[in-house]
Structure 1
């Protein structure tokens, strides 16, 4: 391996670590209700498609996590990352533990297959631009 190849491999691993870190921050920001940090991680042009097929913009998604669903935990047990220049595609499983803020008081776990796209935006920052979830079965209600 040449030193140029070694440097490119090292830079790619550093970028991969950075992007995985941003995804970890996104999950943590959702669970801890750090809405300021969550907005910073989401593109102003976000298209977030939920397991039921409805799609949110960044603004409507923020309303959803602040007023509709109390997401208590977001787990990413398996995550693949593919970087293509200024675009990164993440594929894997996501498990949310959440409850509705109004209505049914039960807490549920929902497991989904996720594909998401992070983009390096004009200001040089990486932000999540696209998110698509497909449910892997129905919600599992937890004992209270």
Structure 2
């Protein structure tokens, strides 16, 4: 009988402990997400693209933008690769600065999706733009090169 009571007591204590939430210890540190080499390569391509837009580096834009690019601007306009590069060449789109305010990249085989936020200072068809954008863009690996195949952005209300 003593054995049965001891067993029931142990079982009850185990059940109660299993139901009690466990809080992290005071010394516990949240684990940081490590970025893989592939994710770093995609983010590097994104950084090169931003810099190429500002510096009017058409050769770099030609490498990092896919031939079948669909570029949806925050104002609702859409460009393909040729019209987008031409708008920069003609001065219709002039990027003064693009400041990343956070990016998250997810990789699925040869495809990568970036969700980001950036501050854009630019001129578009004579209109000064100083706005924060949230965006999603998609890169596809072609050989050793990551190329952007689509961009979709929206303005964040001030």
TM-score, length basis structure 1? 0.79
Query: Where do 5+ consecutive residues of structure 1 fail to align?
Result: 1-9, 139-144
CA-to-aligned-CA distance 1:109-130 (integer Å, 9 cap, x gap): 1211100000012x44210001
For residues 115 and 36 of structure 1, what CA distance do their matches in structure 2 show?
Answer: 24
Residues 74 and 103 of structure 1: is their aligned pair in 2 closer, same or farther, counting only changes over 3 Å?
closer
For residues 36 and 45 of structure 1, what CA distance do their matches in structure 2 show?
Answer: 17
Residues 82 and 108 of structure 1: is their aligned pair in 2 closer, same or farther, counting only changes over 3 Å?
same
Give the match for residue 46 of structure 1: 69
Give the match for residue 72 of structure 1: 96
For residues 94 and 114 of structure 1, what CA distance do their matches in structure 2 show?
Answer: 8
Give the match for residue 108 of structure 2: 84
Give the match for residue 8 of structure 2: none
Give the match for residue 25 of structure 1: 48
For residues 126 and 47 of structure 2, what CA distance do their matches in structure 1 show?
Answer: 30
SS in 1 for 2:76: coil
Give the ranges of 4+ consecutive aligned residues of structure 1 lying more than 2 Å apart after TM superposition: none
Report deviation, 1:95. 1.6
For residues 28 and 90 of structure 1, what CA distance do their matches in structure 2 show?
Answer: 17
Report deviation, 1:38. 1.1
Q: Between Structure 1 and Structure 2, whose CA radius of gyration is higher?
A: 2
SS in 2 for 1:24: helix
For residues 110 and 149 of structure 2, what CA distance do their matches in structure 1 show?
Answer: 12
Give the match for residue 135 of structure 2: 114
For residues 89 and 38 of structure 2, what CA distance do their matches in structure 1 show?
Answer: 31
TM-score, length basis structure 2? 0.72
For residues 51 and 80 of structure 1, what CA distance do their matches in structure 2 show?
Answer: 20
Q: Work out which of the residue numbers 128, 131, 137 in structure 1 matches 2:157.
A: 137
Q: RMSD between aligned alpha carbons?
A: 1.8
